[in-house]
Amino acid sequence: MKKHSELSKFFYPESIAIVGVSPEPSNLGKTIVQNCLTFGYQGEILSVGLRGGVVFGQRIHSSLLEIDRQVDLAVILTPAKTIPGILEQCGQKGIKWVVIESAGFSEMGEQGKPLERACLEISRKHGIRFIGPNGVGVTNLEKGLALPFWPLRHDLSLGPVSILAQSGGVGVSYLSFLAEENIGINKFVSMGNKLDVDENDLLEYLIEDKGTRIILLYLEGFTDGKRFMKIAARSTKPILVHKSNRFKTSSQIAHSHTAALFADDMLVDQALEQVGCLRVNTMNDALDCVKSLTLPPLKGRRLAVVSRSGGHAVIAADACAYYGFSLARFPQEILKKIESKLRAHVIRLQNPLDLGDLFELEFYEQIIEGLLSQDGVDGVLLGHGYRRGFEEASSRQLIKKVADLTRRYQKPVALVVFAEAVEIDYLKRNVNIPVYTAPENAMRAFYLSYKWASRKPPRTKRLYTKGIKRQKAKKILLQAEKKPYLSLKQSMDFLQRYGFSVPPHGIARSAEEAIRIWDGIASKVAIKINNPHFSHKTDAGAIMLNLNSKQEIISACKELTDVAGPDAEFLVQAMTDKGLECILGGKQDDVFGPVVIFGLGGIFVEAIRDVVYRVAPIDYNTAANMITKIRGKKILEGLRGKEPYDIDAIADLLVRLSEMLVDFPSIREIDINPVMVFPKGKGATAIDARVILEPESAPRDKLLRALK
């Protein structure tokens, strides 16, 4: 893959030049040299600093241009104002890969942006790719490359986890935490402001990288959420995303830190789920999940809980139920063996299994093996408590045996240990199995492991649904000219072009015209003001329902004229049969692009907010899955003897809406509320719609770029 090889020099350079080195004790550039020497960098290290001198027995060159041989990678840690000039030297020297660790750019506000523009112009002129600025560099333990400007822990070891972090501090904290858990690191990138190389470029690289098995990202904002999703959907490796900057109270802080854009957190959550990423909201969750991913995957929901403490067993069982797991049935032969070893016979043998009356730790191993060997058990949570100096040796031996059983049966055991901190630390460094200190944490990690193991990558191929008339739909948008919205009549006609069922309707400018339309419909009608600004028509008095006589229509038109003014237009629309009110909607998100929304509709939708998002395009299966994710799904399935509603029809409309939003980026927002859904097999009808277009200032030819 071209992009993969393009970034490889960031991780596997044969020579590096570190710009900003001096012999001064507090010099940060010197620390970069020291880190590379400490971790055994397998290449040439060249130091550069204006004042020259010697560091670690090596000459400090006064300029990059003074170096008489080829350099693969330059690392720059000098004042921000000097960076464009140094990048120009890189270009003249033929250095194509650069890591900029200096701060003082757009994270400082507007005054830093000219420097960023200068860096981009120079790098593009010379074909340079760079990481940063405002980060702590790159680490690749396979090569001994360690570029952070503060000393790294010496106990970092090579392993399966690669980290991409927008914050250097958070990234280095993750390195430390994983070192404490004795989980090896493969590669680490502090991305900083992501001015050139961003998380998408690096994620694409790590997905192809042989040494990386688990990918952990810390992000404060997405550069291009749509591209991120396309890349992540292809991954055969678990991707954990710790996304901060979740709420408006923190968005301003994040903007001043890394120029991050605020994104709706619910949308982020569901977009990540859509492509199989594992969302973690705390550092502890991330670490617990990484630990679970070093175990064999949890491929099913049937768990066994075994504990020396009845209370901890109950806590684990609660967590098991909370995350949707089930407690497996234990075979009688296993229970009989356990019964034969008990002393007081005061414990009921069941799942969860309380072994507080059993002190033969050698027998615990047989119990765990017996459970793992069962086809009906997908994983085991083992809670084990002991004190140093009492059962210490036998407990350590048991834990090592459990680690062996996990590998042999390729089923995970979540080991929860209750012991002194010093003993927990010993286990983390000396046994080859993750150690948890609370049942809830272990069960949460099991849940994320199961989510990864059971993921189904989404289809992103467009579905050209039958009955869509794109060119006719486009004409309706063009009729809006420079208005930032469609009228109600235009909105309903637009939906029809995409295969939505809508009630018979017509436009009236007087009571007489309204009566003629009612005569043609020959049933009860609703009359609405043909103005898109009335999104809450009931509250605004902009709708009259169940009209079925000339006098009722005349009175309704008069009342509506009082609300909208003498030039009001009315949409006269046939009343539909009663069904279940749902809302279908969409928007063009700044981060993820077109987004489809589904939920229960009507006048309470904003209060209840029982909605689900998916990033378009979606296929039928994704649409059907959306419907199952709302809290009110049981209403759709039929409650208290009622017929189930036509879920297939809703899914079909969601796919059509998805196509619409992809076809026409000029649709900034669309609300189809309510969509009246009828019993299964009888379809669904859009009753009302509001379509908001991009503002007049946006180029219309760009906004209507579809279907040329």
The answer to whether the beta carbons of residues 62 and 48 sit under 8 Å apart is yes
What pLDDT is recorded for position 535? 53
Tell me, yes or no, whether 278 and 339 share the same domain.
no
The pTM for the full model equals 0.89
Among 63-72, 514-523, 577-586, 696-705, the least confident range: 696-705
Residue of higher predicted confidence among 457 and 304:
304
Adjacency order of strands within the sheet including 505-508: 505-508, 570-574, 525-529, 543-547
How many angstroms separate the CA atoms of 486 and 518, rounded?
A: 24
Q: Burial-class residue 202 by CB neighbours within 10 Å (0-12, 13-18, 19+).
A: buried
**Which among 539, 559, 575 is the end of a domain?**
575
Q: In this structure, what CATH number is given to the domain that contains residue 39?
A: 3.40.50.720
Region 140-165: mean pLDDT is: 96
The answer to whether the beta carbons of residues 660 and 643 sit under 8 Å apart is no
Residue 474 within any structural domain of the chain = no
Helix (H) or strand (E) holding 59: strand 58-61
What pLDDT is recorded for position 607? 63
What pLDDT is recorded for position 164? 98
The answer to whether the beta carbons of residues 399 and 430 sit under 8 Å apart is no
Tell me, yes or no, whether 189 and 259 share the same domain.
yes
What pLDDT is recorded for position 359? 76
The answer to whether the beta carbons of residues 677 and 579 sit under 8 Å apart is yes
The alpha carbon torsion through 55, 57, 63, 67 (nearest 10 deg) reads -150
How many angstroms separate the CA atoms of 558 and 576, rounded?
A: 24
Neighbouring CB atoms inside 10 A of 643's CB total: 12
What pLDDT is recorded for position 611? 87
59, two tokens? 């000459």
What is the residue range of 216's domain? 153-294
Among 9-13, 15-19, 61-65, 702-706, the least confident range: 702-706
- The full DSSP string for 220-257 is SS-S-HHHHHHHHHT-SS-EEEEE---SHHHHHHHHHH
What pLDDT is recorded for position 638? 84
How many angstroms separate the CA atoms of 571 and 530, rounded?
A: 6
Neighbouring CB atoms inside 10 A of 488's CB total: 26
Query: What confidence category does residue 704 fall into, taking pLDDT thresholds of 50, 70 and 90?
Result: very low
Residue 288 within any structural domain of the chain = yes
The answer to whether the beta carbons of residues 282 and 291 sit under 8 Å apart is no
The pLDDT of residue 473 is above 60: yes
Query: What confidence category does residue 603 fall into, taking pLDDT thresholds of 50, 70 and 90?
Result: low
What is the distance in angstroms between the CA of the first residue and the CA of the last residue of the chain? 32
Region 184-188: mean pLDDT is: 97
User: How many structural domains is the chain composed of?
Assistant: 5
What pLDDT is recorded for position 571? 94
Tell me, yes or no, whether 402 and 530 share the same domain.
no
Tell me, yes or no, whether 157 and 242 share the same domain.
yes
What pLDDT is recorded for position 247? 75
The alpha carbon torsion through 445, 450, 452, 455 (nearest 10 deg) reads -150
At 403-424, the pLDDT tens digits run 999 999 999 999 999 999 999 9
Number of H helices, E strands in the chain: 26, 30
The pLDDT of residue 541 is above 90: no
What pLDDT is recorded for position 639? 78
Residue carrying structure tokens 């998380």: 199
The pLDDT of residue 186 is above 90: yes
Tell me, yes or no, whether 371 and 418 share the same domain.
yes
DSSP, collapsed to helix, strand or coil, labels residue 86 as helix
Tell me, yes or no, whether 510 and 568 share the same domain.
yes
673, two tokens? 């509320």
The pLDDT of residue 532 is above 90: no
**Which among 453, 486, 516 is the end of a domain?**
453
**52 φ, ψ to 5°?**
65, -155
Residue 219 within any structural domain of the chain = yes
The pLDDT of residue 707 is above 60: no
**Can you say how many angstroms the Cα of residue 705 is from the centroid of all Cα atoms in its chain?**
29
Beta bridge partners of 217: 164, 241
Residues 6+ apart with CB under 8 A from 105: 80, 112, 113, 115, 116, 119, 133, 134, 193, 195
Q: Which of 446, 459, 4 is nearest to 276 (CA)?
A: 459
Residue of higher predicted confidence among 557 and 345:
557
At 131-147, the pLDDT tens digits run 999 999 999 999 999 99
Tell me, yes or no, whether 446 and 366 share the same domain.
yes
- The full DSSP string for 394-441 is HHHHHHHHHHHHHHHHT--EEEEEES-HHHHHHHHHHSSS-EESSHHH
Residue 441 within any structural domain of the chain = yes
Residues in the chain: 708
The pLDDT of residue 74 is above 50: yes
DSSP, collapsed to helix, strand or coil, labels residue 45 as strand
Tell me, yes or no, whether 283 and 336 share the same domain.
no
Tell me, yes or no, whether 446 and 306 share the same domain.
yes
The pLDDT of residue 3 is above 60: no
Q: In this structure, what CATH number is given to the domain that contains residue 270?
A: 3.40.50.261
DSSP, collapsed to helix, strand or coil, labels residue 365 as helix
Residue 495 within any structural domain of the chain = no
How many angstroms separate the CA atoms of 297 and 446, rounded?
A: 9
Tell me, yes or no, whether 206 and 108 share the same domain.
no
Q: In this structure, what CATH number is given to the domain that contains residue 527?
A: 3.30.1490.20
Residue 387 within any structural domain of the chain = yes
Residue 497 within any structural domain of the chain = no
Q: In this structure, what CATH number is given to the domain that contains residue 597?
A: 3.30.470.20
Average pLDDT of every residue of the chain: 89
Residues 6+ apart with CB under 8 A from 360: 341
**308 φ, ψ to 5°?**
-80, -15
**Which among 235, 266, 294 is the end of a domain?**
294
At 78-117, the pLDDT tens digits run 999 999 999 999 999 999 999 999 999 988 888 889 999 9
The pLDDT of residue 226 is above 80: yes
466, two tokens? 């039958």
Tell me, yes or no, whether 161 and 285 share the same domain.
yes
At 609-632, the pLDDT tens digits run 788 999 999 999 899 999 999 988
Tell me, yes or no, whether 176 and 53 share the same domain.
no
Residue 143 within any structural domain of the chain = no
DSSP, collapsed to helix, strand or coil, labels residue 177 as helix
The answer to whether the beta carbons of residues 650 and 597 sit under 8 Å apart is no
